[in-house]
Structure 1
Amino acid sequence: MVLIKHRLQQLLKLPLPELEISECTLCSAYFPKPTSDTTIQGVGDFLDLEKLCVLGRGNHGIVYKVRHGPTLAIYALKIIQQDTNEAHLSHETEILNCIDSPFVVKCHGIFEPRAGEKAILMEYMDAGTLDAMFKANGPFSETSLAHIAYQVLNGLKYLHEHNIVHLDIKPSNLLVSKDMKVKIADFGVSKIVHGIGSKAATNYHNMCEGTHAYMSPERLDSHTFGSGYVYAGDVWSLGVTLLELYVGHFPFFPAGKRPSNWMELVLVICFGELPSFPKEASEEFKSFIKCCLEKEPSKRWTVSQLLSHPYVCLGENLGK
């Protein structure tokens, strides 16, 4: 235990949300003139983008709701301050440039408005995030979560098949439309994986980036739980996310309780018991969550296996 504590002290810090979504914050109307002449297909001039409000702020940038003047089309625009020491920035733009799935937020273009900045123009999801929806309306029903699980799993299947691991699945990174289409967003800490299969390799030391509360045991303590199953961490994060949206609070602690420090959080996730379920939870839902929250990554179900789970099949039928 002393060795584990020492390793964790080297790797971890208190978990903080990567992106907090709040009510639209009014801001100044237009962006400063870009230093480059970069343009985006469908958007002829960067100066035609009018800022409407701030959608969210995080360590990796600010997301604005913007309107394209000539067409009146609405987009989301993420502005990132570049740091040459932050390799994840190049990964995010590289990933967004090559993905195309109905279950992943669409990128319309990437450009440099000023020296030291990156701007990512993305589709706007008119209902915000699952986190915002939860805060406004309370916990989700099992039926709604089955439909959400089906969509997120399809998004993860697409990413994993294209050698991309997201590494930060959580309610605030799952965007939603008013007709309940759900899409994966925010690839700020995502990685491009080298190799094929569930044990494909990547730099596991860098996989501690993200939101620690949603990290799997092997990401928090790879010495104990292994470091080969890089895609399995996304499945764990999805399980935590769905259970949180169901019970109405972070599931590894009682309602209203927060970890007093990062060590308490990590010990509970890595070595504590599986969170308890409300008595009204169905056997199908409990089975699905247990398949996601298997501590041993080699025993955790894969995305493809979960898509055939009876609980997820319910969500698939809802989408037809």
Structure 2
Amino acid sequence: MDLGSLNLSTRFPEPALAEIAAQVLNGLAYLHAQKIVHRDIKPSNLLLSSSGEIKIADFGVGKIMRRTLDPCVSYVGTCAYMSPERFDPDRHGGNYDAYASDVWSLGLTILELHLGHFPLLPMGQRPDWATLMCAICFGEAAGVPEAASEELRGLWGCCLMKEAGKRWTGWSC
């Protein structure tokens, strides 16, 4: 079952979010060490097995990076989960970092699973591409709930930095 098909009006408890984040971060660490970027991390591309394992799925827009500075700025993937530098690399950190973009998408996904709705827009709003781009690039930082634990707020802080160069990519923040 993919996490996007679950009823998001029921929020995930923090221990479940911590486990999901840890498993996806381990998966991304492995992929990135192999110079593979996913470019479409979102709830529906995270599969939950009956044993509780999370698997990263749908590599249809993934890319194998041939060089460290291999450009792969493109609009492939789901625009709601694209990092700011995918839309505007010059404004959000200069050099595009595809690895940091995967981390942004994970942070947004974990925040969505916590809130029970997409975090960058009002609940229930069905945005178009331009609305999403403006929310991601020019909107306020994603609202991190005060009631969340310090650890969870720290994870979001590391993952959802608008400037790619400040975002978590070395698996420590």
Q: TM-score range by the shorter chain?
A: over 0.9
**Which whole-Å deviations, capped at 9, do the CAs of 1:215-246 have from their partners, x for residues lacking one?**
00011112322233121000000000000000
Query: Counterpart in 1 of 2:91?
Result: 224
Query: Counterpart in 2 of 1:268?
Result: 135
Is 1:168 the counterpart of 2:40 in the alignment?
Answer: yes
Greater fraction helix: 2
Is the Cα contact below 8 Å between 2:8 and 2:116 reproduced in 1? no
| Secondary structure of 2:135 counterpart | helix
Which of 135, 144, 165 aligns to 1:298? It is 165
Which of 15, 20, 25 aligns to 1:143? It is 15
**Which whole-Å deviations, capped at 9, do the CAs of 1:278-303 have from their partners, x for residues lacking one?**
34211211111011000111100115
Is the Cα contact below 8 Å between 1:168 and 1:210 reproduced in 2? yes
Q: Cα distance 1:284–1:136, how it changes in 2: closer, same or farther (>3 A)?
A: closer
Greater relative contact order, per chain length (Cα 8 Å cut-off, separation 6+): 2
The structure with the largest alpha-carbon Rg is 1
Paired residues for 1:1-320 under 5 Å: 128-132=1-5, 134-135=6-7, 138-195=10-67, 200-205=68-73, 207-225=74-92, 226-259=94-127, 261-305=128-172
**Which residues of structure 1 form unaligned runs of 5+?**
1-127, 307-320
How many angstroms does 1:139 deviate by?
1.6
Opposite residue 102 of structure 2, the aligned amino acid is D
Is the Cα contact below 8 Å between 2:87 and 2:133 reproduced in 1? yes
Supply the distance in 1 between the matched residues of 2:26 and 2:55 (Cα, whole angstroms): 10
Is the Cα contact below 8 Å between 2:29 and 2:171 reproduced in 1? yes
Is the Cα contact below 8 Å between 1:202 and 1:230 reproduced in 2? no
How many angstroms does 1:137 deviate by?
7.5
How many angstroms does 1:131 deviate by?
1.3
Aligned length: 172
Greater fraction strand: 1
Opposite residue 139 of structure 2, the aligned amino acid is G
Opposite residue 263 of structure 1, the aligned amino acid is A
Is the Cα contact below 8 Å between 2:9 and 2:116 reproduced in 1? no
Supply the distance in 2 between the matched residues of 1:169 and 1:177 (Cα, whole angstroms): 17
**Which whole-Å deviations, capped at 9, do the CAs of 1:94-143 have from their partners, x for residues lacking one?**
xxxxxxxxxxxxxxxxxxxxxxxxxxxxxxxxxx11112x3278221111
| Secondary structure of 1:183 counterpart | strand
**Which whole-Å deviations, capped at 9, do the CAs of 1:29-85 have from their partners, x for residues lacking one?**
xxxxxxxxxxxxxxxxxxxxxxxxxxxxxxxxxxxxxxxxxxxxxxxxxxxxxxxxx
Opposite residue 188 of structure 1, the aligned amino acid is G
**Which residues of structure 2 form unaligned runs of 5+?**
none
Identity %: 52
Give the aligned CA root-mean-square deviation in angstroms: 1.6
